[in-house]
């Protein structure tokens, strides 16, 4: 059963703080459109579309973290994934064993501004096939494979990989090799 809220605990100075956040998902592109920002969108196995809405007031700040939580507790999984900005949409993958996402910011004192990237990819066996998408242009900056022994699920303590339920890495690898 999925809970409507989760509690995050953190330390601020000498105090332990607790914040209660909502865990709901965003089912329209309105947040991205209103804020004129790039983001991801996914289609779940249920046919439902879910859109990134990071930092929506009152909700867990990371929409991907909320999506991971939702999938873990409902058995839903991602069927298709895209990166989008306005009317520019690029496909990350379709009908894969899992989908991977985390964000990266590059900065240099000599640069005019930071470079924002999504590292997004698909799980094939125990390998995540990633592309680094430069934002907001949605251009592929780099391509890399990342090993995922046992199916890593976090990067720097945050959820990064959403797998299809009941897909073992051995079965996934055998199917790809046939």
Q: What is the pLDDT along the chain (178 residues), one digit of tens a residue?
A: 677 888 878 788 899 988 888 888 999 988 888 989 999 999 999 999 999 999 888 888 889 999 998 998 899 999 999 999 999 999 999 999 999 998 999 999 998 999 999 999 999 888 899 999 999 999 999 999 988 765 556 676 678 899 898 765 444 444 444 4
Residue 19's pLDDT is 86
The chain-wide mean pLDDT, for the chain, equals 86
Any long-range contacts for 105-114 (C-beta under 8 Å, 24+ apart)?
none
Instruction: Please answer whether residues 12 and 49 qualify as being in contact, where contact means their C-beta atoms are separated by less than 8 angstroms.
Output: no
Residue 91's pLDDT is 97
Residue 145's pLDDT is 93
Residue 53's nearest CA partner among 43, 66, 41, 63 is: 63
Residue 166's pLDDT is 74
- Between CA 42 and CA 2 the distance in angstroms is 20
Tokens for 118, please give them: 């999504």
Residues 119-140: tens digit of each pLDDT: 999 998 888 999 999 999 999 9
Residue 139's pLDDT is 94
Number of other residues whose CB lies within 10 A of the CB of residue 22: 15
Tokens for 134, please give them: 């430069």
**Total tally of structural domains belonging to the chain:** 1
- Between CA 1 and CA 45 the distance in angstroms is 18
Domain assignment of residue 11, given as a range: 5-177
Q: Name the pTM for this structure.
A: 0.82
């Amino acid at each position: 059963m999925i809970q409507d809220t989760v509690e995050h605990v953190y330390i601020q100075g000498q105090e332990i703080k607790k914040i209660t956040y909502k865990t709901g998902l965003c089912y329209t592109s309105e947040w991205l459109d209103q804020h004129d920002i790039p983001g991801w969108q996914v289609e779940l196995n249920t046919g439902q579309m879910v859109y990134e809405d990071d930092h929506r007031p009152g909700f867990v700040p990371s929409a991907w973290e909320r999506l991971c939580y939702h999938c873990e507790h409902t058995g839903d999984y991602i069927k298709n994934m895209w990166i989008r900005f306005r009317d520019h949409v690029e496909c990350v993958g379709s009908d894969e064993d899992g989908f991977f996402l985390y964000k990266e910011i590059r900065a240099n004192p000599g640069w005019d501004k930071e470079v924002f990237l999504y590292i997004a990819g698909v799980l094939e066996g125990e390998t995540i096939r990633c592309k680094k998408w430069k934002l907001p242009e949605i251009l592929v900056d780099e391509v890399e494979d990342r090993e995922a022994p046992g199916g890593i699920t976090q990067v720097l303590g945050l959820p990064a990989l959403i797998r299809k339920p009941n897909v073992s890495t051995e079965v996934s690898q055998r199917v790809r090799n046939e």
